[in-house]
Structure 1
Amino acid sequence: MRTKTPIAPLSRAELVSLSNDIRLACMRISRRVRFESDRELPPHHFSVLARLEDTARTNSELADIERVSAPSMKRTTTALVAAGYVSRADDPTDGRQVILSLTAEGRKALRRIRRHRDEWMLSRFEHLTDEERELLQRAADVLAKVASE
């Protein structure tokens, strides 16, 4: 039976270096999966569609969630309405507000883009060894923990 060699704790400088390496790798993967897997919609448009997937929202709610200005969100949702991905309806309780929701075409676009993104990632994973895939599974669990804190 093999015993594991204890791992020495990282120094502050090593921890800073590791956090930088992980942050940059995550950013690069995120950027590549967004820009190379699908050119149908800009990433911020996809993000708004995803925010509307489970519930209708107002422009103000979307702007708060996405941390953008109200005029910027209005431009984004106007483009999504023009493309047929989002529909507008008057808010029954506040005539100044508009309720935005996904159309059937918007739902199809979300599924299509997600499928393209999954395929892009899968094409990268196919070339990895079983050991590398196992390591990535463990890393995904740790990164999910880091993201939730």
Structure 2
Amino acid sequence: MSANNFLPHDEPSAEELAAHLINIVPPIMHAVSIEMRREATVGFQMAHYRLLRLIAQAPRTVSELAASQSVSVPTMSRSVSVLVERGLVRRVEDPHDRRRTLLEITDEGEALFERLRRQLQQRLAEQLETLTPQERRLALAGLEVLEKALLLSTENKSPTTATKEA
């Protein structure tokens, strides 16, 4: 259903919004995976991109990353090891607790992350060129609301939220 089909009296349910999100996620992920295969080094996966994004935001522990991605610590440790071996992430001692090891992004990791982000943004922008200016405004407004709701929901349910607030 296009944005123009909603009349002011229409009140889409959360279920309808969720159904639309489920429908648009696969094409977005397809575009992402094409960029990952086209531009990244062999063996670089979408999961690695997500980890670089999280670590670029703030240094994190393997346990925090595992919790945020809903995987086991050993599984996350293997993914992190790939990033460390490639020089994209480094392990550093937590300055507040020497028993903990934090992961931080390297300059090379930051450069790769930014390059992939820009290329993905460009690919998606090309696909959105067919929208009218009004449709782009409506889409942006809707995405901003969804982003706020989904990020807030994720932060409230994240096991790492309590750690960050402490």
| Common fold by TM > 0.5 | yes
How far apart are residue 17 of structure 1 and its match? 6.2
Q: What is the distance in 2 between the residues matched to 1:8 and 1:56?
A: 44
Question: Structure 1-normalised TM-score?
Answer: 0.77
Q: What is the distance in 2 between the residues matched to 1:6 and 1:123?
A: 30
Partner of 1:44: 47
Percent identity between the aligned chains?
Answer: 27
Partner of 1:33: 31
| More divergent stretch after superposition (47-56 vs 110-119) | 47-56
More helix by share: 2
CA RMSD of aligned residues (A): 2.5
Residues 32/65 of structure 1: CA separation in 2 closer, same or farther (3 Å cut) = same
Partner of 1:138: 141
Which of the residues 6, 9, 26 maps onto 1:7?
9
Amino acid at match of 1:104: D
Aligned residues: 140
Structure 2 runs not aligned, ≥5 long: 1-6, 154-166
Deviations 1:44-102 (A, max 9, x none): 1111111111322221122122221000110001000111101123456444x432211
Partner of 2:105: 102
Question: Structure 2-normalised TM-score?
Answer: 0.71
Contact 1:38 1:116 in 2 (8 A): no
Q: What is the distance in 2 between the residues matched to 1:67 and 1:135?
A: 33
Amino acid at match of 1:37: E
Structure with higher Rg: it is 1
Superposed, which structure 2 residues align to 1:37-116 within 5 Å? 37-39=35-37, 40=40, 41-91=44-94, 93-95=97-99, 97-116=100-119
Structure 1 runs not aligned, ≥5 long: none
